[in-house]
Amino acid sequence: MTATVPPAVLGTDRLELGEGIRWTDGRAVLTDILSGRLLAAADGPASPHTVVAQLPFPLGAVAPVEGCPGHWIAAAGTGICRIDPAGRAEWIARPEDDAPVPMRMNDGVADPHGRFWAGSMAYDTTADAGSLYRLDRDGRVTRVLRDVTIPNGPAFTADGTVMYLADSARGVIRRYPVDPASGDLGTPETFVTVAEGSPDGMTTDSEGGLWTAVWGTGQAHRYLPDGSLDRIVDLPAGQPAGLCLGGPDGRTLLVTSAHIGLAAPGPLDGAVFAVRVDVPGKPAAAYRPADRADTP
């Protein structure tokens, strides 16, 4: 159940809060949230990551925009914006501007039907201050969930009819039915409660397995669709934060980590890791504006 091959280290950078890693257009991109940087991951251990964009506010995660190379939809600052190839940000909505406590966006992802979903959280992790938002293909932004403390993910099944969302502060991953036509969520059920550490970034694979980085444990876990723990990957960093499946065959598990909050970070805290796995995943889904074709 536990991986025995040591993970490879990608790049010389050690990120403060590395998250939001996605495999897209033949490469991995990721964020260093609080520094506002969108990075392309290094191919090996000897070079730094490449800066794709530098924003003057936190950057949680991005999704590519279908048919628009170099454009991204981003969970950033207090809302959702579009980033162009020059790194300029155009706001779509900033729903957390007037929140009673200072807020920022955290994780986010596009679903198989072309919508973008992103969560918000309080800087001081105030309980229940966070929300989950959905950017529809027509550009409308809707708050779909309230009373989440630290939302991470979401992650979707291949057909987009199931969404997994972690509330990291509570150590729980919930599973929601999704109406594929409207994006409306049904009644959730608890999928997994993590006994140690906090579930963080997530992704699904071609067999319906769910991978999650487990913050505070130095591990990534794979769960089967029935919620049973299938595999553990040990990592030489205490705070794994985000992950995806990528590489030419989709069988490379890429994991970000963070050194924020550590009194004495180790040499690999904040590094990006690569581990070979058996079951592949797909490249990141794209945000698909309403004028694009309707086929997922």
The annotated binding site is made up of 19, 104, 106, 124, 152, 200
**pLDDT tens for each residue of 26-57:** 999 999 999 999 999 999 999 999 999 999 99
Q: What is the pLDDT of residue 202?
A: 98
Task: Please answer whether residues 272 and 11 qualify as being in contact, where contact means their C-beta atoms are separated by less than 8 angstroms.
Answer: yes
Task: Please answer whether residues 239 and 265 qualify as being in contact, where contact means their C-beta atoms are separated by less than 8 angstroms.
Answer: no
Buried b (16+ CB within 10 A) or exposed e, 9-27: bbbebbbbbbbbbbbbeee
From first CA to last CA, the distance across the chain in angstroms is: 34
The residue type at 104: R
The annotated binding site for substrate is made up of 104, 106, 124
**pLDDT tens for each residue of 102-147:** 999 999 999 999 999 999 999 999 999 999 999 999 999 999 999 9
SS3 170: helix
Q: How confident is the model at residue 295 (pLDDT cuts 50, 70, 90)?
A: very low
Instruction: Give the span between the Cα atoms of 253 and 29, in whole angstroms.
Output: 13
Mean pLDDT over all residues of the chain? Answer: 96
Q: How far is CA 66 from the centre of its chain?
A: 18
Instruction: Give the span between the Cα atoms of 247 and 280, in whole angstroms.
Output: 9
- Name the catalytic one among 13, 32, 200, 269: 200
- The domain spans of the chain are 8-276
Task: Please answer whether residues 272 and 10 qualify as being in contact, where contact means their C-beta atoms are separated by less than 8 angstroms.
Answer: yes
Q: If one looks up domain 8-276 in CATH, what number appears?
A: 2.120.10.30
The annotated binding site for a divalent metal cation is made up of 19, 152, 200
Say whether 32 is catalytic: no
| Predicted structure pTM score | 0.96
Residues whose CB falls within 8 Å of the CB of residue 118, separated by 6 or more in sequence, listed in order: 60, 61, 75, 80, 105, 106, 107, 108, 109, 132, 133, 135
